[in-house]
Structure 1
Amino acid sequence: MNEVEAVKTKDDIHMVSRLLEKHGSSDYRDIWELGINAALRISDLLSLKFSDVEGLEVLNLVEGKTKKVRSIKLNSKAQEIIQRRRNDNPADVWLFQAKGNRARSSEKAIDRSTVARKFKEIGEIIGVQLGTHSMRKTRGYAMWSDGVPIEVVCKVLNHSTPAVTMRYIGIEKQDIHQSYDDYVL
């Protein structure tokens, strides 16, 4: 399995959104943006139904991978995405419902592999190893680079230790070296 990266600048984060919509659809853009804002794994994100999230400020769920309980504050951007998707798709059951011919006959969520392919395609355009984990990694890296303590980032991502979080979000030697220039005392 290829290692995927965080998108490390806000301009690039917004560029990924624009490219996902341009080369895919608003569905992929919304998956990207909600994934970044909620810091959910793709499997948990794609398993959400409108009935799970509508009208909520805090989403409580059991993670599929870890079976840990998570409480996620749905920020204004997340709530905006959910409301827009409901307005645009009033008959859908799934927050990210598949729209293909085969999917029409039965209500299904968008498939993880479909999202992974689209993310990889956009990653090739911008020169980043982009995948479905990139959403969580991007949120974690953005928080850390804005000065949020690594322990808080660790809790947001539901990791067991800050060391796991540092590896996960891709804090690299160049980031550590930059700190010597940033903090001349």
Structure 2
Amino acid sequence: MERVEPIRSVKKINDLKKYLLGSGNMRNYTLVVLGLNSALRVSDILNLKWGDVFDFEENRFKTHVYVKEKKTGKNKKFLLNQNATGAILKLKRKLGHINILDYIFKSREGQNKPITRYMAIKIIKSSCEAVGIKEHIGCHSLRKTFGYHSWKKGVPIPILMELYNHSNQSITKLYLGISQDDIDDVYRLIEL
């Protein structure tokens, strides 16, 4: 598997979201926004059903989502932040009727099947290209982008390690995609 990079520019992230929102395809917009705000692997995002994020009895979004990670088998709990909830709400409004067992990112092929990983990567890559994101982008870029921007805002690596369910810090450090520019920023910041 090729190594992919996070999207380091907040402006480019905002351009990407505006582009997807402007396209009118709420499924694709929600896929990217949820990916950027959940730190989930794309395989776990694609397996989400409406019952995972929406409480049908209370008629409201859940505050936390529980998933069993497909790759590791570990349980993960994450907060649906305002951006993620807002994107899912836009999709819900666009769809109208949803069912507790429906996949959120439903494919147009077949009855109730999620889009494929291949389709997700196609959506992510083509959208990034459309807004001029030059980094080597893949599905994991969304997950890495979350970590990179968390780290830039001062979230300690041990917290990110726990968030990602990583067994050691070296894996988490790889996820952060620290560049020479980031290292140079430290030298600019610390002038003793």
| Alpha carbons 2:158, 2:169 under 8 Å: kept | yes
Partner of 1:122: 127
| Deviation of the 1:21 alpha carbon | 4.4
Q: How does 1:54-133 map to 2 (within 5 A)?
A: 54=54, 55-92=61-98, 93-99=102-108, 103=109, 105-124=110-129, 125-133=132-140
Counterpart residue identity of residue 127, structure 2: I
Partner of 2:141: 134
CA-atom RMSD, angstroms? Answer: 1.8
User: Mean alpha-carbon deviation: is it higher for 118-127 or for 153-162?
Assistant: 118-127
> Residues 85-129 of structure 1: CA distance to partner in whole angstroms, max 9, x if unpaired?
222213341111123xxx2x4121112101101222234332121
TM-score (norm 1): 0.88
Q: 1:130 to 1:24 in 2, by over 3 A?
A: farther
| Deviation of the 1:47 alpha carbon | 0.5
> Residues 127-164 of structure 1: CA distance to partner in whole angstroms, max 9, x if unpaired?
12111101110000001011111111222222222221
Counterpart residue identity of residue 57, structure 1: T
| Deviation of the 1:19 alpha carbon | 3.1
Mapped to 2, the partners of 1:147 and 1:73 lie a distance apart of 19
Counterpart residue identity of residue 117, structure 2: R
Q: How many residues align?
A: 181
User: Mean alpha-carbon deviation: is it higher for 26-35 or for 11-20?
Assistant: 11-20
Counterpart residue identity of residue 86, structure 1: K
Identity of aligned residues (%): 32
Mapped to 2, the partners of 1:28 and 1:68 lie a distance apart of 27
Partner of 1:49: 49
| Deviation of the 1:42 alpha carbon | 0.4
TM-score (norm 2): 0.85
Partner of 1:157: 164
Can you give the 5+ residue segments of structure 2 that lack an aligned partner in the other structure?
55-60
| Deviation of the 1:23 alpha carbon | 6.2
| Alpha carbons 2:26, 2:90 under 8 Å: kept | no
Q: 1:118 to 1:84 in 2, by over 3 A?
A: closer
Mapped to 2, the partners of 1:89 and 1:123 lie a distance apart of 25
Mapped to 2, the partners of 1:87 and 1:79 lie a distance apart of 12
Counterpart residue identity of residue 167, structure 1: L
SS at match of 2:76: strand
> Residues 162-182 of structure 1: CA distance to partner in whole angstroms, max 9, x if unpaired?
221111121133322321111
